[in-house]
Each structure stands twice: as C-alpha cells, then as structure tokens.
Amino acid sequence: MSSSDQQPITYADAGVDVEAGDRAVELMKASVKATHSPAVVGGVGGFAGMYDASALLKYKRPLLASSTDGVGTKVAIAQAMDKHDTIGFDLVGMVVDDIVVVGAEPLVMTDYIACGKVVPERIAAIVSGIAEGCRLAGTSLVGGETAEHPGLLGPDEYDVAGAATGVVEADAMLGPERVKAGDRVIAMASSGIHSNGYSLVRRVIHAAGWDLNREVTELGRTLGEELLEPTRVYAGDCLSLMRTLNTEPESPEAPLRGFSHVTGGGLAANLARVLPTGLAATVDRGTWELPPIFSLISQLGKVPQDDLERTLNVGVGMVAIVAPDAAADAIAHLNARGLQAWDMGEVTELTDEIRADEATVQGAKGVDGGAVRLVGNYAN
C-alpha cells in the first residue's frame, strides 16, 4: 500500500487519550489543592511546582533532605481488588518517612503515575490517597505527572513513584553520631505489611491458592482488605516527638538521638544503618506480639523466621532511639497521639559475643554502621 492510501493515524489511535488526561487533572485538583500551605505559589497544572522558600531564611545552615521511592508490587493487589484510593497513601509513607529519619521536615512532594490507559476516576483516586497522606504529613503536593504507556503496560496496569524534599537545621540533624551506649530503642507499631515484601507475600498466597476475597477469621476481614491496609505515615508523630524531647536540638545531649524507618531489609538491617560502628542494639522479640498477618504469611508459606524478618516489618514500622531517661516520656507522647509504642531494646557496646552471634546484622545497604540482633521469641 502506498503512503497516499494510508489512513491518518492519530495519537488516540496509538492508545493515548489526551482528553482523559485532562479530565483526570480536573478530578484531582481539589484534593491536591487541599495539601497546599501558603508557601505554595501558583495552582495545579503548571510546568513546575513553586514553593516560597523564604522560611529557610530563619535557618543558620539549612540542609535539604530528599527521598524518592515507590510502593513495589503492592500495586498488583490494588489492581486485582480494583481499589485505588489507598496506594497513594503508601507512596507518601515510603517517601516522607525516610526524610524525618534525619529530623527533617518534609516540605514538598511530587508524584509520577505511569499507566497503560488513563481512566480519570482511577487516577484521581490514586492522587486522592497521595494528597491525604501529604495532608497528614504536613507536606504540600506541588506537582506530578501522569503518563499513558499503551503497549508497555496493560489497560488496567499502573505504577507509582514519588519524591519529596525537606529541611533540617545542620546542628539539629539526627544521626548515628548522637547515639550512645545505654540508649533505649523505642518501637512504633506498623499498620500492617506497609509497602515492602509483597513479592514474597504474593508468592505465598499464589502457592497456597488463596483468593484475595477470602474471609480470614484471624484477620477479621478479607485477605485483600488486609493486604491493602495503607502504610502508616509517621512524619507528624516523629516531628512532634522531636520537638517535644529536643528542646535544645543543637545540643549533642538532646535526648532524641535518631529514627529508623523499617522498610526493605527488615527491622535489624534498617536499625543497624542508624547506629555508629562499635555500638549494637539488642532487640527483645518478647516485648511485642507478631501481628496476625505476619504469622499467617509465615505459616502459609513455611517462611523461615530469619527470612520473614529480613523481608517484612514484623509489626514495627518506625523506631526511635532515645536517652534512657527519656524513654518513658517518648512512649507516653506517642501513645497520646494514638500510636502504639514500647521499649523493645537497648544500645550497648559491640562485644565479641554479639559480633559472633550468627543472628547479628552488621552494616546494611552500603552503610558501615552498627550491629543489631533480635533475641527471644515473640510474645504470642
């Protein structure tokens, strides 16, 4: 066929619906705008999100903290359940809670959604979750991108990613250099599996032949509902705790030493990242009960305990390291905010005994940090 006989090919013929994209933006405008503080300049839809950084003038030496992440294969659960208003919440938690680990306040966030076909209502649902998470974290959602990739992704497939930027005073930054022997390790309960380890979880469920709509007595709801439980956003709680305990944040003796966000790699590996070399944290499993979903995955897939603990958060989503005389106040403060918290261990010198223990984790994700070992059995 000659080129003169060929019918015109439009962008829509290629699978991209520009009008659907515009409709999606209109549907998400209200939820995005609800996250905006007075520092946000301009509205939704510009080429760049603008933020008035005048507030940084009050800092003596402001350090910008940035983080980027996604939610992994948890999106496959959302797609299978056709429920999309919580996955954005997961995205916010994965991004902003990495920033607060150093004591930074997350200021702005942007998102990226790649999909096989723009369904405006679906995209708006995803963004509404992102916006709600940002609202709870006190972070402005200043921009984003929705990209339609027909032929690369199926019509009902999508993936999400995001990035955030925050700020912390240099002298108030939290980190390993503040941690001392004798400090207490304070756990903050997770809301569930959060957004790590879903490749393992999905493999276990598939091997067992379980359906996502299966009612599970010990969970009190369907399996799919449990697996879509949103990641808890700790940013507001962590910043509130830091401001309460560290009334003199620039002092090296400030009682809140640091945080650890329990994500990929599990509790021990992530806690080890925020300890200095030469120190170790011993965590007592007997201080908490393993939540039902983790017991279920372990039993259903005969998952070894060490593999479970390297992959999933086992009920602890964030950790605070505090001076021993501040532990009770830290727990009381977090509990008063509706967040279950407890003392689960102590920081000590790294002894030969701890170093020789096969269960000890030392150094993780390229960080030559301290050591962590989990001891005992879960309370249940």
Alpha-carbon distance of 371 to 350, in angstroms, equals 7
3-state secondary structure 293-354: HHHHHHHHHCCCHHHHHHHCCCCEEEEEEECHHHHHHHHHHHHHCCCCEEEEEEEEECCHHH
3-state secondary structure the chain: CCHHHCCCCCCCCCCCCHHHHHHHHHHHHHHHHCCCCCCEECCCCCCCCEECHHHHHHCCCEEEEEEEEECCCHHHHHHHHCCCCCHHHHHHHHHHHHHHHHCCEEEEEEEEEEECCCCHHHHHHHHHHHHHHHHHHCCEEEEEEEEECECCECCCCEEEEEEEEEEEEHHHCCCHHHCCCCCEEEEEECCCCCCCCHHHHHHHHHHHCCCCCCEECCCCEEHHHHHCCCCCCCHHHHHHHHHHHCCCCCCCCCCEEEEEECCCCHHHHHHHCCCCCCEEEEEEHHHCCCCHHHHHHHHHHCCCHHHHHHHCCCCEEEEEEECHHHHHHHHHHHHHCCCCEEEEEEEEECCHHHHHCCCCEEEECCEEEEEEEEECCCCC
Pull the structure tokens for residue 147.
């990209």
Per-residue model confidence (pLDDT) at position 369: 85
Alpha-carbon distance of 303 to 312, in angstroms, equals 11
Per-residue model confidence (pLDDT) at position 2: 53
Torsion-angle region of 120 (φ positive above 0: left; ψ -120 to 50: alpha; else: beta) = alpha
Contacts of residue 319, defined as CB under 8 A and 6 or more positions apart, other chains included, come to: 185, 186, 187, 188, 259, 260, 262, 267, 270, 271
Please report, in tens digits, the pLDDT of each residue of the chain (380 residues total): 455 566 776 566 556 666 666 666 666 566 666 677 777 787 666 677 777 788 889 999 999 999 999 999 999 999 999 999 999 999 999 999 999 999 999 999 999 999 999 888 999 899 999 999 999 999 999 888 889 899 899 999 999 999 999 999 999 999 999 999 999 999 999 999 999 999 999 999 999 999 999 999 999 999 999 999 999 999 999 999 999 999 999 999 999 999 999 998 999 999 999 999 999 999 999 999 999 999 999 999 999 999 999 999 999 999 999 999 999 999 999 999 999 999 999 999 999 899 988 888 986 677 778 999 999 999 99
